[in-house]
Amino acid sequence: MRRPEIAVIKGDGIGVDVTDATLAVVDAACAAAGAETPSYVEIGAGAGHYAAHGRDIEEGGEERAGEADAIFLGAIGLPSVRHRDGTEISPHLRLRDRYGLYAGVRPIKAYPNAPQRLADPRAAGIDMVVLRESTEGLFYSAAVHGRSEVIGDSEVRETLRVSRATTEKLHAFAFRLARKRRERGKRGRVTCVDKANVFTAMAFFRKIFDEVKADFPDVETGYNYVDAMALDMVRRPWEFDVMVMENMFGDILSDLGGGLVGGMGMAACAEIGDTTGLFQPAHGSAPDIMGEDKANPLAAILSGALMLEYLGETLDQPQLAAAAERIEAAVEAGFAANRLRPMEFGGDMGTRAITDAVLAGLDMAAEAR
């Protein structure tokens, strides 16, 4: 077995805290599953790095990130540090663009004893994925400064891009993901989320979906306009499985999904391309609680599990995928036994206590086996 190499960008604020927690859990899970523990290459990047050095990522950092087997990112951004036009410091958007990380996988799962914002008892069964195209859409202009058209101080125009090459890959990824989830007992249904009744780009997005679905006749499909999807995620989220959509739509609806199952402290994320993947919690950097042992690291830890699953497939090392399963099982069992009580949910456990509880859950899972 080859030892995986992970490029680590801790970033800003609680990104440091949750990254340290995640790497401890990843190492322990790999050891328990008999997998090689990764080696880590730390790369300085973020708003703090920009404030100190005048650039948002260290020299050569983008290249080294792409040379690794995967990238793990804690969180980036500080309210007090901005570009002159007021936008955030966002080197991760450039990494998405440079390495074609088109498939943004954002799981939304309800856990026992975690807050459920909907009164309907069926909300306890929420288990779906927002699949967000992550390189184009309305974020196309944001990835690299200079794509926006600024007309004096009177107007700004942004470009929404939907290309056939990327959209075909995204939809195929959605159908393969649905098949994989069906093998694990999930519904295995793909819903195309768009605004095809208004925008030509979205009609094109749906047209390609219909073309690709012909190659996956065994997978159930559905359609929803994005505004109706927002309504249905509140009204009947338990009926959905994989939802594939444009970049901005996915950015918004994944946050809505996080709110349904407790908060952004549970919002894991994988951004996968043809040659590499970037893994990060979907929450912000929360610099006001950095170092105070208050952050919920579970979104980052679950992102670490997504990373191990990805590495298990790309490196053909099933032990890494087994390590991912151990982390997911430890989180599930921890909530079920009320051993995970994040402060984010009004509980009494901060970053270290939650990390320790997940580590103990890995030990219990190993003993059970």
Do residue 254 and residue 125 come from a single domain? yes
Residues sharing a CB contact under 8 Å with residue 186, sequence separation 6 or more, in sequence order: 127, 241
Is the Cβ–Cβ distance between 306 and 104 less than 8 Å? no
Pick the more confident residue, 121 or 368: 121
Helix 318-336 and helix 15-33, axial crossing angle in degrees, nearest 10: 110
Tally of structural domains, the chain: 2
Q: For residue 70, what are the domain limits? A: 1-100+271-369
241 and 288 co-located in one domain: no
Strands 242-245 and 127-133: parallel
* Residues 286 and 369 grouped into a single domain: yes
The string of pLDDT tens digits covering residues 125-182 is 999 999 999 999 998 887 665 678 889 989 988 889 999 999 999 999 999 999 999 9
The per-residue pLDDT for range 239-290, each reduced to its tens digit, is 999 999 999 999 999 999 999 998 889 999 999 999 999 999 999 999 999 9
Last residue of a domain, one of 260, 283, 299: 260
pLDDT tens digit string along 183-214? 999 999 999 999 999 999 999 999 999 999 99
C-alpha 324/C-alpha 327 separation (Å) is 5
The answer to which of 134-148, 247-261, 311-325, 352-366 has the lowest mean pLDDT is 134-148
- Could you tell me if 248 and 124 lie in one domain? yes
Q: Where is the domain boundary, 260, 279, 309?
A: 260
Amino acid at 199: F
Cβ(101)–Cβ(166) below 8 Å:
no
Q: What angle do CA 173, 175, 178 make, to 5 degrees?
A: 110
Please check whether residue 107 lies inside any domain of the structure: no
Q: What is the mean pLDDT of residues 220-231?
A: 98
Given the DSSP bridges, would you call strands 70-75 and 5-11 parallel, antiparallel or unpaired?
parallel
Q: Are residues 87 and 151 in the same domain?
A: no
DSSP annotation of 7 reads E
The reply to whether 105 falls in a domain is no
